[in-house]
Amino acid sequence: MKATVTTTIPAYNGQAFLQFTLESLAKQTRRPDRVLVLDDGSTDRTAEIVRGFGALKAEFIPNTVNPGLFENFNRCLDHAGETDYLHILHQDDMILPEFYERMTRELENCQGRGMAWCLDERIDEEGKPLSVSGKADGGVKHFGMDEFLARKAEISNQAFCATLLKTNRQPIPERFPTDMPILGDMVFWAKYGAHCQQLSEINLPLAKYRWHGSNQTVFRAPSVNALIVDEWRTMQIVEALRGKSPGVVRRMKLNGLLAVRSGIKAKRFRQLGNLPHARKITEVARGYTGWPLWLAGQFLVELRELIVFKIGGRPRHPQNVFS
């Protein structure tokens, strides 16, 4: 029997970009067998767009209340037992025509649960490219469990739109944490990955992640707890999944990564004119990293700013505090 692919689209007031998302599904060389739009109480034209989309049948599943973003992601997971492959595609993102064909081919020999992810191209409101999440050399990396979890503890990039779960018609034994509004997906990828027989990264940009002014991360960014405390918490949760105590070098690496990542955010808020928030980020992050690693991290932040953005001229979305 042919393996089935189910695309779930968690939606809330998605009229600005949902049409483009659905069109990217209709252009697939291997179309999904089922498309479910799980609405979270939209008050705009989301339902009208889904029901009126003629190029591909999409089921509109309304929710009369608005429980929140990650609660709606968990509604997507409820459909795992009905399909061989499950994809959570945000209402504002897109996938290239060969996404499902290429991703399912990578996982077709996996006999149990599996997960594959590719690079994502970041685009703005108008679809203009901003950056790519890695080196697009076409290679495939297969991860052992410890290496995978080590990468996830370092919060290596893995976008929703770029990730395909092979469920083999089994329920998913993990859920998205609902108390981590920015980093909850990173915890989930690690915990689901711990149940997988295959973990593969495909170095091709087969997905498009859209940065725009109404991204949930933009709304959540002013929270230092969501930006810094949850990031450190994510690192600790995922590192613990490795089942061994980290040595001195490993602890320094994680602290150093937190210093760099937090330094980038603090710098972005300074560039945006929010100096009090930048100072608060610095204060909280330095409490985890200590002064020496914090200062070393800031040197790397400034070097990155010079090489990537000033000399290299890479564009970035003005509201992206992570770039």
84 touches 168 (CB < 8 A): yes
The pLDDT of residue 215 is: 52
Q: How far apart are CA 129 and CA 314, in angstroms?
A: 10
231 touches 258 (CB < 8 A): yes
Q: How far apart are CA 57 and CA 48, in angstroms?
A: 13
| 221 pLDDT more than 80 | no
Q: Which of 236, 282, 276, 241 has its CA nearest to residue 259? A: 282
| 217 pLDDT more than 80 | no
State in words which class domain 5-210 has. Answer: alpha beta
| Apex 164 CA angle, 109 and 112, nearest 5 | 35
User: pLDDT tens digits, residue range 243-265?
Assistant: 999 999 999 999 999 999 999 99
Beta bridge mates, 5: 85
| 7 pLDDT more than 80 | yes
Give the pLDDT band (50/70/90) at residue 219: very low
The pLDDT of residue 320 is: 73
Q: How far apart are CA 253 and CA 65, in angstroms?
A: 43
Taking residues 103-115, what's their average pLDDT? Answer: 97
Taking residues 58-70, what's their average pLDDT? Answer: 83
The pLDDT of residue 86 is: 98
Which of 97-101, 124-128, 170-174, 218-222 has the weakest average pLDDT? 218-222
CA distances from 311 to 303, 314, 315 (A): 11, 8, 11
Tell me the domain boundaries of the chain.
5-210, 216-311
The pLDDT of residue 323 is: 62
